[in-house]
Amino acid sequence: MGVGKSIIRLDSVEKVTGKTLYVEDIKMSNMLYAKVFRSPVAYGKIKNLDLELAKKVPGVKGIFTYKDVPGKNIIHVIYDDQIFLASDFVKYPGQPIAVIAANSEEACKEAIKKIKLEIEELEPLLDFEKSKNNSIKLYGDDNIFCKYHIDHGNMDIINDSDLISISDSYYTQHQEHAYIEPQGAVVYWEDNTLTIRGSMQAPFYVQQAVTEVLNMKKSRVRVIQQMTGGAFGGKEDVPNIVCSQAAICAYHLRQPVKIIYNREEDMQTMSKRHPARTDITLWADKTGKFVAVKGYYLENAGAFATLTPAVLYRGTIHLSGPYNIENVDVIGEAVATNTAPNGAYRGFGSPQTIFAMESIIDQMAEKLNMDPADIRQKNLLKLGDRTCTNQVLEDSVGLLEAFDKCIDESDYYNKIKEFKEYNNVSDNIKKGIGVSAVYYGVGLGDAGKHMSRAAGTAKIDGDGSVTVSVGVVDMGQGMRTVAAQMAAEFLGILEDNIVVSQVDTSRVLDSGPTVASRGTITAGWGILKALNKIKKRIHKFLEEKFNEKFEDIHYKDGKVLFGNHEESYFDVIKWATDKKLTLHAAALHIPPECSFDEHGQGDAYYTYAWGANVVETEVNTRTGEVKIIKATCAHDVGKAVNPREVKGQIMGGSLQGLGYGLMENMQVSSQGKFLTNNFSTYTIPTACDYPEWNPIIVEEKYPKGPYGAKGFAEQPLMGMAPALTNSIYNACGGRIKNIPAIPERVLESIRGKE
Amino acid sequence: MIVEFTLNNEKVKCDVPEHFSLLRMIRDIFGLTGTKKGCDKGECGACTVVMDNKAVTSCTVLAPVVHGKEVLTIEGISKNGQLHIIQQKLVEAGAVQCGFCTPGMVMSAYALFIQDRDFSRDEIKRAISGNLCRCTGYEYIVNGIDEALKTRK
């Protein structure tokens, strides 16, 4: 029991028997189905929308457009630019225009066919590299949604002629979350309250969005997070849209409404990782010490800003990597195009820039005739160093330990030699090994500081069982199990005494979104602080009961220990209950403040996670096919509350990163549509594609985190693509500058070398 | 049309539109929601059930085809409230994260379990390669299935 133990996940028995109810499994009497009528074009002006024939389809109960929106026709995320239901212009293929509610899905589909839309098609802007100041104006005068600049140290140093420099540009594509459960929600009225059950990461976002769209009182919009079948960022802000679509139907029709996206619709219209170009120049001295880095990061945001400002913030800050570089000049810009809005995806804007930096480091190593691991090792951030935002690293820097363990356990140096010998005699199969190092700013940082809070409640019943709640969700990552472990540790009892409530906005307190690897730390802060209030009351109660003063009271193995007393926890709770002691509490924790000034300087995040990856590959130089053989991934997580689940996050996240680097190839048509909108064309790694894993946990405790824990679950994805492409280079000498490393590109890169 | 078949060891009969898939039939008509719909095209494997001792994606089997067949879903493999050994081993292995692929994964493993032979890890991987999981990186799933299959000896 307790923290540090690999207990079995508390939700796993229900899940493995198929008893867990996901949104699609909910059925209600009089329930209607909703489907969305969408723009067929990337960019156009709506001339006329004729719903008459569609409304006559048997079973159709209502069709709702912007005219039926009682509140703002906007889905608020960061800016108020995202239209809920298009009124005049459409800006991406699949943009919602109307929502149909009917008593069957078939009737909805029939009605969609009968809607007559007259639209004047406009020339779309699809090439994000041409978006800035384009004559097609999608946002403001210049199509730039947002911009960040990090100006650290003094770049005049690059004029020093003794420095070695290298420049290059790197491209990354869309990445689809590929959660196996598609987007969905059920909305119904209960007790005069519009109640929403949905698959989501951020119930409090949904509550706010629906409140604004329907112009209701916030307390009359109740959002319950249904068990969520994977999210990875893809259910951060977009459930605002999905839930609002079902909500407008239920609002007007006063009947339960279910909306479930089909896979093609989901992949065609929902957010993805931003495609990007990163230009980078790295300067080093002759010993391989990094002296300066200059970067330009251009993100394709799609049609609306949604989460882009926050995504760009993270990507810009993470560009220069976990290295001690005194002079950094990085600009990040995000521009508009007529494609579906891009948003949050595990890593949140950073895998793109990390791919660039970790690639150029290998190119620099080659130029200096150094080993890629050695050059990194020489430059890694240590305790007391400053990051590119001039933040002093005051605690919990487990980077060197993670890096060294990763190199040791992967047997990196021996393999470098061994593979070289192998490749000298092997004909077309070449073996390679590649390395990357990453850091991850934990939590929302300065860009999301207005939402940075942890609010928990706790209640102890007379039998000693405990109910706790906090406003972060379990979307499959295991948050509720980890929260129960921390509460159990704090009270010295077994987890089976603890219930962690499902997030329901009517009874659980807003703790911000479940994103930014902040689940564990937020849950710990909120719940432990609430439990501590109860503990203080019990302390006073025991002093009064025994008429003694007690310095400390310890809770351990079902016992409460104070002075010379050793009492059963359950007895103590019973005494306290009998005396009507208040055994419930709510608490709010505000995390350490973050900052980021106009020069991109400040405490960008309250703490950092650290990691290193080594990937081994086999490249077939005749076909360009790459097989991933082994991945060694070491991550400093502060404290692993549940080590087995931490390793589950490492392997799962790392495989998403390997898929991003190797095979996940989202194709966009000349009309802005995703051509690869299902799992037979957008291929993700299967059980036959994953490598031998060696997940390594490093625990450099974060003193301000619960039991020393910090967040990290995005980090496993972030550095895998460059570790993979560096490994490909090591195998065959082909440098991949545009991921995924599909066979065609691998062959091209080898030929480019010749 | 009327379809008669064996569902989780019980003879059943229902009137079902002939365009319904087996998936829709077991979810909408029989109310067995443990079988999940991830793509409705036979690409993700979340809807895997065992039909006549073989794993099939129930979304690609039309209801009339099921007539006279034996179908086993996730609801049909645990007996007397006890987890099937496959389920038990997957739970112990840490193979469950979001859980949406899990029922299909269990049924693909079950189709191996009922065969009278051993399976190597590579064979296990191939057998579940039609079951996509985005959470776990597969290792714990393969471990769990491997452990469960070993208990047959």
- Cα separation, A390 vs A405, in Å, equals 27
The whole-angstrom separation of Cα A351 and Cα A599 is 23
- Chain A touched by B98 (CB under 8 Å): yes
In a domain, A2, yes or no: no
Average pLDDT, chain A: 97
Is residue A14, in this structure, part of any structural domain at all? no
- Considering CB atoms only, which of B31, B98, B126 is closest to A230? B98
Chain A interface, best mutation among B131, B135, B145, by max A CB count within 10 A: B135
C-alpha to C-alpha distance for A8 and A481, rounded to whole angstroms: 8
* A411 in the same domain as A321: yes
DSSP H helices, A235-349, are 239-253, 263-269, 308-317
SS3 A185: strand
Residues of A in contact with B60 (CB under 8 A): none
Which residue in this structure is represented by tokens 């004559």?
Answer: A135
CB A280 within 8 A of CB A325: no
A285 contact partners, CB below 8 Å, separation of at least 6: A162, A163, A164, A291
pLDDT digits (tens, 9 = 90+) for B46-64: 999 999 999 999 999 999 9
End-to-end Cα, chain A, rounded Å: 59
Report the residue from A262, A654, A684 with minimal CB separation from B134. A684
Using a CB-CB cut-off of 8 Å, the residues of chain B touching A687 are 124-126, 128-129, 131, 133, 138, 141-142
* Among candidates B96, B125, B130 on the partner chain, residue whose Cβ is nearest the Cβ of A15: B96
pLDDT at residue number B79: 86
Task: Give the tokens for residue B139.
Answer: 């290792």
- Shared domain for A570 and A680, answered yes or no, is no
Taking CA–CA distances from B97, the nearest residue in chain A reads A476
- Are A644 and B94 inside 8 Å of each other by CB? yes
Interface test with B, best of A9, A13, A15 (most B CBs within 10 A): A15
Q: Is it the case that residue A695 has pLDDT exceeding 90?
A: yes
**Chain B residue nearest residue A474, CA to CA:** B98
Phi and psi at residue A2, to the nearest 5°: 90, -170
Q: Distance between CA A123 and CA A460 in Å, rounded?
A: 62
CB contact under 8 A, A180 and B134: yes
Interface contact A686-B132, CB threshold 8 A: yes
A181/B98 CB distance under 8 A:
yes
3-state secondary structure of A120: strand
| CB crowding A632-646: b at 16 or more within 10 Å, else e | bbbbbbbbbbbbbbb
H helices present in A56-162, as ranges: 105-114
C-alpha of A514 from chain center: 9
Q: Which residue has the higher pLDDT, B81 or A271?
A: A271
pLDDT, average across residues B21-45: 98
Same-domain check for residues A702 and A724: yes
| B34–A656 CB contact, under 8 Å | no
What was the pLDDT predicted at A1?
74
Same domain, residue pair A441 and A483: no
Contact list in B for residue A265 (CB cut-off 8 A) is none
Please state the separation of Cα B92 from the chain's center in Å.
Answer: 19
Tokens at A295, concatenated: 């970067």
Q: A5, A6, A10, A16: best mutation site toward chain B, by most B Cβ within 10 Å?
A: A16
Asked if the Cβ–Cβ distance from B131 to A687 is below 8 Å, we say: yes
3-state SS class at B128: coil
Residues 29-88 of B with CB under 8 A from A: 31-41, 43-44, 46, 73-75, 78, 83, 87
CB atoms within 10 A of CB A449: 18
Amino acid at A545: K
Contacts of A686 in chain B (CB under 8 A): 129-130, 132, 138
Alpha-carbon distance of A170 to A469, in angstroms, equals 44
Most A CBs within 10 Å, among B96, B107, B140, to test the A interface:
B96
Average pLDDT over residues A707-714: 97
Task: Tell me whether residues B40 and A680 touch, CB distance under 8 A.
Answer: no
Same domain assignment for residues A604 and A746: yes
Q: Tell me the residues of chain B between 77 and 96 that have a Cβ less than 8 Å away from chain A.
A: 78, 83, 87, 90-92, 94, 96
Say what the pLDDT of residue A753 is. 67
Q: A690–B139: do the CB atoms touch at under 8 Å?
A: yes
Q: In angstroms, rounded to a whole number, what is the distance separating the alpha carbons of residues A643 and A693?
A: 15
Q: Dihedrals φ, ψ of A522, to 5°?
A: -70, -45
pLDDT tens digits, A118-143 = 999 999 999 999 999 999 999 999 99
Q: Assign A461 a pLDDT band (cuts: 50, 70, 90).
A: very high
Contact flag A11-B102 (C-beta cutoff 8 Å): no
Contacts of B74 in chain A (CB under 8 A): 17-18
Are the Cβ atoms of B36 and A180 closer than 8 angstroms?
yes
The two tokens of residue A388 are 């590119």
What is B85-150's CATH number?
Answer: 1.10.150.120
**In sequence order, which residues have a C-beta less than 8 Å from that of residue A15 and are 6 or more positions away?**
B96, B99, B102
By CA distance, what is B96's nearest residue in A? A12
Collect all residues of chain B within an 8 Å Cβ-Cβ radius of residue A650.
137
CATH of the domain at A57: 3.90.1170.50
Q: Are residues A495 and A552 in the same domain?
A: yes
Cis peptide before A740 (omega within 30 of 0): yes
Asked if residue A564 has pLDDT above 70, the reply is: yes
> Is A688 in contact with B78 (Cβ distance < 8 A)?
no
pLDDT at A88 over 90: yes
Do A311 and A427 belong to one domain? yes
B35 vs A contacts (CB less than 8 Å):
18
Backbone angles phi, psi at A295, to 5 degrees: -140, 150
- The residue assigned the tokens 């078949």 is B5
Query: Considering CB atoms only, which of A6, A229, A693 is closest to B98?
Result: A229
Shortest Cα–Cα distance, A544 to chain B (Å) = 45
- Judge if A380 and A501 occupy the same domain: no
What are residue A748's phi and psi, to 5 degrees?
-60, -40
CA–CA separation, A40 and A35 (whole Å): 15
Identify which of A263, A652, A686 has the shortest CB distance to residue B39: A263
Give the bridge partners for A698, in sequence order: A636
Contact residues, chain A, for B138 at CB < 8 Å: 651, 655, 686-687, 690
Quote the minimal CA–CA distance from B141 to chain A in Å.
9
A-B Cβ pairs (cutoff 8 Å, strict) = 162
pLDDT of residue A475: 97
The answer on A285 and A251 residing in a single domain is no
Tell which of A538, A568, A589 closes a domain: A589
- Which residue in B107, B14, B54, B7 sits closest to A18, CA to CA? B107
From A604, A634, A709, A638, select the one nearest A387 (Cα to Cα): A604
From A589, A622, A640, the end of a domain falls on A589
Chain segment A635-679, per-residue pLDDT in tens: 999 999 999 999 999 999 999 999 999 999 999 999 999 999 999
CATH number of A722's domain: 3.30.365.10
The domains of chain B are located at: 2-76, 85-150
Q: Give the DSSP letter of residue A547.
A: T
Pick B99's closest partner by Cβ from A229, A680, A688. Answer: A229
Residue given tokens 């404290």 in the structure block = A639
The nearest CA of chain B is from the CA of A87 a distance in Å of 31
Residues from chain A that touch B90, judged by Cβ atoms under 8 A, are 12, 16
SS3 (DSSP) at B125: helix
Spatial distance between the Cα atoms of A155 and A290, rounded to a whole number of angstroms: 13
Q: Among A16, A654, A688, whose Cβ lies nearest the Cβ of B129?
A: A688
Q: Are residues A309 and A408 in the same domain?
A: yes
Nearest CA-CA partner of A572 in A581, A584, A580, A560: A560
Task: Identify whether residues A658 and A681 lie together within a single domain.
Answer: yes
Q: Domain B2-76: give its CATH code.
A: 3.10.20.30
Are A490 and A530 in contact by the 8 Å Cβ rule? The answer is no
How far apart CA A722 and CA B109 sit, in angstroms, is 34
Under the banding of pLDDT at 50, 70 and 90, the label for residue A100 is very high
Q: Is the dihedral of CA A261, A262, A268, A270 positive or negative?
A: positive
3-class state of residue A232 by DSSP: coil
Give A170 or A753, the one with higher predicted confidence: A170
Instruction: Give, in order, the Cα–Cα distances in Å from A685 to each of A562, A653, A655, B54, B133.
Output: 54, 12, 7, 24, 9
The span from the CA of A8 to the CA of B90, in Å, is: 10
Cα separation, A598 vs A275, in Å, equals 26
Q: Are A92 and A302 in contact (CB under 8 A)?
A: yes
Q: How far is CA A551 from CA A16, A115, A680, in A?
A: 46, 74, 64
Compute the distance between CA of residue A303 and CA of residue A90 in angstroms, rounded to an integer. Answer: 9
- Residue A654: what pLDDT? 98
Question: How is the beta sheet containing A553-556 ordered, strand by strand?
Answer: A553-556, A559-562, A565-568
Q: What is the pLDDT of residues B87-103, one digit of tens each?
A: 999 999 999 999 999 99
What lies within 8 Å, CB to CB, of A687 at 6+ separation is B124, B125, B126, B128, B129, B131, B133, B138, B141, B142
Cross-strand bridge partners of residue B120? none
Asked whether the beta carbons of B47 and B104 are under 8 A apart, the reply is: yes
C-beta atoms of B98 and A263 within 8 A: no
Q: Residue B88 pairs with which residues in a beta bridge?
A: none
Q: Which residues have CB under 8 Å from B25's CB, separation 6+?
A: B3, B14, B16, B63, B66
A527-538 pLDDT per residue, tens: 999 999 999 999
Say if CB A355 and CB A108 are below 8 A apart. Answer: no
Cα–Cα distance for residue pair A307/A296, rounded to 1 Å:
20
Q: Is the ipTM of this complex over 0.85?
A: yes
Residue A503 lies in a domain: yes
Q: Residue type at A558?
A: G
What total of structural domains would you count in chain A?
Answer: 3
Nearest CA in chain B to A693: B139
Fold matches, B2-76 and B85-150 = no
Q: Does B153 score more than 80 pLDDT?
A: no
Alpha carbon distance A649, A712 (integer Å):
9
Phi then psi dihedrals of residue A386, to 5 deg: -110, 140
Model pLDDT for residues A572-626, shown as the tens digit of each residue: 999 999 999 999 999 999 999 999 999 999 999 999 999 999 999 999 999 999 9
Out of A589, A605, A636, pick the residue that ends a domain.
A589
Q: What is the pLDDT of residue A735?
A: 98
Predicted confidence (pLDDT) at residue A754 exceeds the cutoff of 60: no
Sign, CA torsion A88/A92/A93/A97? negative
Cβ contact A687–B128 (<8 Å)? yes
Give me the domain span that covers residue A556.
453-589
Task: Establish if A270 belongs to a structural domain.
Answer: no
What's the distance, CA A484 to chain centroid? 22
Same domain for A613 and A580: no
Q: Is B136 on the interface with A (CB under 8 A)?
A: yes
